[in-house]
Amino acid sequence: MKRLLKSLTRLFPRGFRDRFGEELLDQIEQDYDDARMRGLGAAAWTTLATAADLARSAAAERLRPTWSSHRTEWESGMRSTLNDWMTDLRYAGRSLRRSPGFAVITIGTLALAIGATAGMFSVVDTVLLNPLPYGSVDRLVAIRASAPGSDMPAEFGVSDEFFIQYKEQSKLLEDLSTTNSFTSTARLDDRVERIRMSWPTNSLFSTLGVKPILGRLPVAADEENAVVLSHRMWMSWFNGDRNVLGRTLQASGSTRTIVGVMGPEFRFPNEETMLWLSSELRADRITSPGQFGTTLIGRVKPGVSTQALASELTALSKALPRRFGGNATYAQTIEKHRAVVRTFRDETLGAVSRPLWVLLGAAGVVLLIACANVANLFLVRAEGRQRDLAVRRAIGAGRRNLIWSQMSESVVVACAAAIGAVALAGVSLPAFLRAAPTGIPRLGDVKLNAATAVFTVLLALVCALACGLIPALRASSPDLSRLGDGSRSVTRGRGWTRDVLVVGQTALALVLLIGSGLLVRSFWALKHVDPGYTTENIFSFQIAPEGPSLRTPEAFARFDLDFMRRLRALPGVESVGLVDNLPLNEGTSGSRFRAEGSGTSADAGPRVNFTFSAGDYFKAMGIKVLRGRTFDESDHTTTLGSVIVSKAAANLLWPGQDAIGKRVQMNGSDVWQTVVGVVNDVLQDDFRDAPQPLVYYPLVVAGRPNWAVSSPAYVVKTRRADVIAPEVRALAKAVAPTAPMYRVYTMEGLAKHSLARLSFTMLTLGIASSLALILGAVGLYGVLSYIVAQRTREIGVRMALGAEATRVRRMIVAQGARVIAIGVVIGIAVAFVSTRALSSLLFGVKALDATTFVGMSSSMILVGLLASYLPARRASRVDPIESLRGD
């Protein structure tokens, strides 16, 4: 405390400190000691009061020194300049207070724009600019695969044998690990929850260059018995207990010993990951190659490019069939295989960086428009002061002096705006973050920090400069001839600065309008995509029941059928069904299938996804049954071998034929399944994708005794979808007391969620563009109003000479129209180039969509004309006598 106070004495000027420093310190010490004897409260109060007093008197001493014996020439020069500046600022503050309307509009406009920009900056700074919390991030890469010309997806995850091969033989890789993420049950005593887990190779930690804050990392000797906790898990399940090491917990069905705890910043592969299970991948454990789907994370040696690594890995993969075997399809896939290597930064931030930069850009554009607007207002204000400035110039005020005294108003406005902006950002940032879609890494860490504060201050200074400099420069060379004439003369000629500003505003506003127009159209298109099912009035959840009686698919089926019967009995429930992978929530797994009589072997057939369903799933979800029937209870209790296929699967397996009664076989099984029904396609993952072919199995499948559907998603069709959760929870608790209920959704919520990223960007850009439109219109209105005011006399003369009101109106509107037209042309040109930045967000509309371009340009022109019409109408009502009376 004392040290803080003592350091504050350094605020005093040197001369003062030399003379009084020692005594100051002495008194501060005595004051503090006296107060301390009276208690802590008194000490705290004294500290505060003394600190405030020191700061205040030091500032006062610097501005109006009392101690003058040691003042240097330079210091006094500085001081007088500073004094002049302060006087100017005080004067500016006073004069702003005299025109509150101007102050409120300029400060409000800038605060809004600076606040939005600063808020977006803090998001971009935290999410994108902050270095990722791993060692030498620039050497980390993500490795996936492609096989152009095969029937594999454009890009897919590798399989385990790739990892072995790369790890052993790559000369460019320093370290390599697998990564994955799944939801499973964790159990500690009687706490049971479904949580996000990861089961990477132990090398994950060394690859990323991270260390635990407690304990150690898993090693090969741990086999599959160790677990590393995330900081979140450590805090929420163990209260941060440091004796957690060595304790055991059940995770994903096995008992594991806690060996380490990671720091709070380590959240990999996603924010929700709660723990990492130990595992070691060995070559001798790979029995069937080609189980694709794993993303590898690698660390390259210094100076290795992604291209160099990709070609090395592509070459290495060619030896895989020779080493690990596999069938002919696998060999063909490998033949066409090309490694896909991406920087780790692109992999983790690539998807979110584009929208975030677009939003920051939009905020920046709004800020530019706001600056142009405010600059315009300052120009108008300076215009009104020409006479006053001419007087000051005439009596010897220097040019720099005049510039500064003009700038000082914009400095005051910008500073006030910056304070307002920080307050605004502080209030609106949390709301903004709540509205943001999930899955943006580190979004939870976003807050107003020092970087944002510095950014805001810099922004405010730039704004002050931008808004004040042009008016100040113009004001600094006032027309001395104005001294002689009356104050109501016509001013012409210098309006071009204002026109340029309005042209710029119009152009920028149009760019934002077109951008948000494109997003609105995409959103509209996505919203009207038919996903193949309805989303209204559907409640969904999962439970993962466990118990000694639940071992076989039949047992699970009996449990599910019974549970669904009870769910159906709940009040207001129309139908109940279940599915293993709920659309929009989970992807489905895929396999190769062959149709009977197709002549190919099963491992060479087309890739089709599969899932399981029971009850009135199709009815509840509103999925149309196109042919045949759906499963009945006997399909789930006995191995009848029925399957239902989607339209796309039927077309793929039996093009042009009726699929009912046809038989199909999955790769790796020797049992044939008979198609009993064909249902409509559904969009499983994303409204943007084309529907995938899908095979639905019943709960019990012949020849697959291990395929227990242990944690399906139950689908409940009811008008009470929003409120039924507690009743369902109670029922679930009754039938499976130890099974946590999780993934509780309404389908409507999921649909909204899947649109979230786009709707969020659209909404934000929409707000930005409406702001831009309003600011642009206000700017145009202001300029034209001003021109009308300036030309009142001229208009009066025209009207006295017989000009009609309509002609006068047309004249003013034409002036506005010219400015808007130029702005629109430039805006379209800029939008032509810049909307490409949005293309990854668009759906069902091209970046150069003519309708949007024309529509938005017309609305810009319309708003502009309206903004010109109002001053024009005023001009046409000028009374010639009134306007001429002044002279």
Partner 1 sequence: MNLLDGSGMSLLEYHVLLALASGPLHGYAIKDVVAAESSGTLTPRAGSLYRVIGRLMTAGLLVDTEPADAPAHPGLARKYYTLTARGRSMLADEARRLKQAAMMAEKRLGVARSRS
Can you tell me which of 43, 54, 372, 772 binds partner 1, judged by CB under 8 A? 54
Among 4, 7, 10, 26, binds partner 1 (CB under 8 A): 26
* Selected range binding partner 1 among 12-20, 163-171, 639-647, 716-724, rule: CB under 8 A: 12-20
- Can you tell me the distance from the alpha carbon of 824 to that of 519, in angstroms, rounded to the nearest whole number? 20
CB of 24 to partner 1, least distance (A): 5
Closer to partner 1 at the Cβ: 28 or 721?
28
Q: Decide whether 54 or 362 has the Cβ nearer to partner 1.
A: 54
H or E element, residue 108: helix 100-124
- Residue from the set 7, 10, 30, 658 that interacts with partner 1 by CB under 8 A: 30
Near partner 1 by CB under 8 A, which window of 28-36, 221-229, 366-374, 453-461? Answer: 28-36
**Measured from the CB of residue 51, what is the shortest distance to partner 1 in angstroms?**
9
Least distance (Å) from partner 1 to the CB of residue 93? 21
Q: From the CB of 8, what's the least distance to partner 1, in Å? A: 8
Return the number of the residue (67 or 455) whose C-beta is nearest partner 1.
67
- CA dihedral (242, 245, 247, 249) positive or negative: positive
To partner 1, the closest distance from the beta carbon of 69 in angstroms equals: 8
Q: Which of 60, 63, 569, 723 binds partner 1 (CB under 8 A)?
A: 60
Return the DSSP state at 552. S
**Which of these, 816, 744, 762, lies nearest to 786 by C-alpha position?**
816
**Among residues 257, 260, 227, which one has the least CA distance to residue 242?**
260
Question: Is the CB of 26 or the CB of 241 nearer to partner 1?
Answer: 26
CA 493 to chain centre: 47
28 binds partner 1 (CB under 8 A): yes
DSSP per-residue codes, 402-449 = HHHHHHHHHHHHHHHHHHHHHHHHHHHHHHHHHHSPTT-TTGGG----
Decide if residue 47 touches partner 1 (CB under 8 A): no
Looking at the Cβ atoms of 35 and 124, the one nearer to partner 1 is 35
Scan residues 730-769 and list those touching partner 1 (CB under 8 A): none
DSSP-derived secondary structure letter, 349: H
481 scored as a contact of partner 1 (CB under 8 A): no
In angstroms, give the least distance from the CB of 30 to partner 1. Answer: 6
Using CB under 8 A as the binding criterion, the count of chain residues that bind partner 1 stands at: 26
Compute the least distance from the CB of residue 19 to partner 1, in Å: 7
Which has the closest alpha carbon to 541: 739, 267, 757?
739
| Distance separating alpha carbons of residues 672 and 275, to the nearest angstrom | 40
Residue nearer to partner 1 on the CB measure, 13 or 572? 13
For the CB of residue 43, give the shortest distance to partner 1 in the complex, in Å.
14
Contact mark string toward partner 1, 811..850, x via CB under 8 A = ----------------------------------------
Q: Which of 57, 591, 598, 651 binds partner 1 (CB under 8 A)?
A: 57
Q: Which of 16, 205, 237, 593 binds partner 1 (CB under 8 A)?
A: 16
Site for partner 1 in 63-92 (CB under 8 A): 64, 66-69
20 binds partner 1 (CB under 8 A): yes
Q: Is 61 in the site for partner 1 (CB under 8 A)?
A: yes
Q: Is beta strand 625-628 parallel, antiparallel or unpaired with respect to 642-646?
A: unpaired
Binding to partner 1 by residue 210, rule CB under 8 A? no
**Which residues sit opposite 613 in a β-bridge?**
579
CA angle in degrees (0–180, nearest 5) for 614-615-616: 120
DSSP, collapsed to helix, strand or coil, labels residue 694 as strand
Q: Which stretch binds partner 1 (CB under 8 A): 19-27, 127-135, 181-189, 743-751?
A: 19-27
3-state SS string for 110-165 = HHHHHHHHHHHHHHHHHHHHCCCCCCCHHHEEEEEEECCCCCCCCCECECHHHHHH
Nearest by Cα to 316 from 343, 293, 298: 298
Q: Can you tell me which of 19, 387, 752, 793 binds partner 1, judged by CB under 8 A?
A: 19
Q: How far apart are CA 467 and CA 494, in angstroms?
A: 17
Cis peptide before 269 (omega within 30 of 0): yes
Contact between 50 and partner 1 by CB under 8 A: the answer reads: yes
**What is the amino acid identity at position 843?**
F
How many angstroms separate the most distant Cα atoms in the chain?
108
In the bound state with partner 1, the residue whose beta carbon lies nearer, of 68 and 307, is 68
Cβ at position 68, least distance to partner 1 in Å: 6
808 CB-near residues (< 8 Å, 6+ apart): 795, 798, 799, 872, 875, 876, 878
Instruction: Point out which span in 8-16, 246-254, 458-466, 595-603 binds partner 1 (CB under 8 A).
Output: 8-16
CB of 56 to partner 1, least distance (A): 7
CA distances (Å), 189 to each of 275, 467, 543, in order? 17, 65, 19
Joined tokens for residue 352: 């979110």
One residue of 56, 94, 242, 492 binding partner 1 per CB under 8 A: 56
Sign of CA dihedral 777, 782, 788, 791: negative
Could you tell me how many residues make up the chain?
Answer: 887
Q: Min. distance of Cβ 18 from partner 1 in angstroms?
A: 11
Strand partners, 226: 257
Quote the CA–CA distance of 672 and 612 in Å, as a whole number: 16
The nearest distance, CB 26 to partner 1, in angstroms, is 7
DSSP-derived 3-state class of residue 297: strand
Tell me the sheet residues that pair with 176. 298
Out of 44, 49, 315, 723, the only residue in the binding site for partner 1 (CB under 8 A) is 49
Could you give the residue ranges of the DSSP H alpha helices within 139-241?
Answer: 160-169, 203-208, 231-238
Among 23, 73, 190, 670, binds partner 1 (CB under 8 A): 23
Please pick, from the candidates 58, 142, 217, 799, the single residue that binds partner 1 as defined by CB under 8 A.
Answer: 58
HSE-up of residue 178 (Cα within 13 Å, Cβ side): 24
- Report in angstroms how near the CB of residue 189 gets to partner 1 at its nearest: 59
Span between the terminal Cα atoms of the chain, in Å = 70
Question: Whose Cβ is closer to partner 1: residue 20's or residue 672's?
Answer: 20
Show Cβ contacts of residue 493 under 8 Å, excluding neighbours closer than 6 positions: none
Closer Cβ to partner 1, 69 or 239, answer by number: 69
DSSP 740: P
Applying CB under 8 A, which part among 17-25, 549-557, 638-646, 716-724 lies near partner 1?
Answer: 17-25
> Minimal distance in Å, beta carbon 82 to partner 1?
17
Residue of the chain from 7, 10, 45, 53 that contacts partner 1 (CB under 8 A): 53
Q: Which of 4, 7, 10, 27 touches partner 1 by CB under 8 A?
A: 27
Stretch that binds partner 1, among 20-28, 133-141, 181-189, 514-522 (CB under 8 A): 20-28
Q: Hey, which residues does 666 pair with through a beta bridge?
A: 593
User: Rounded CA gap, 89 and 621, in Å?
Assistant: 67
Work out whether 33 is an interface residue with partner 1 (CB under 8 A): no
User: What is the rounded distance in angstroms from the CA atom of residue 42 to the CA atom of residue 34?
Assistant: 9
Is the Cβ–Cβ distance between 227 and 273 less than 8 Å?
no
Q: Output the smallest distance, CB 55 to partner 1, in A.
A: 8
Q: Is 574 in the site for partner 1 (CB under 8 A)?
A: no
Binding site for partner 1 (CB under 8 A): 9, 12, 16, 19-20, 23-24, 26-28, 30-31, 49-50, 53-54, 56-58, 60-61, 64, 66-69
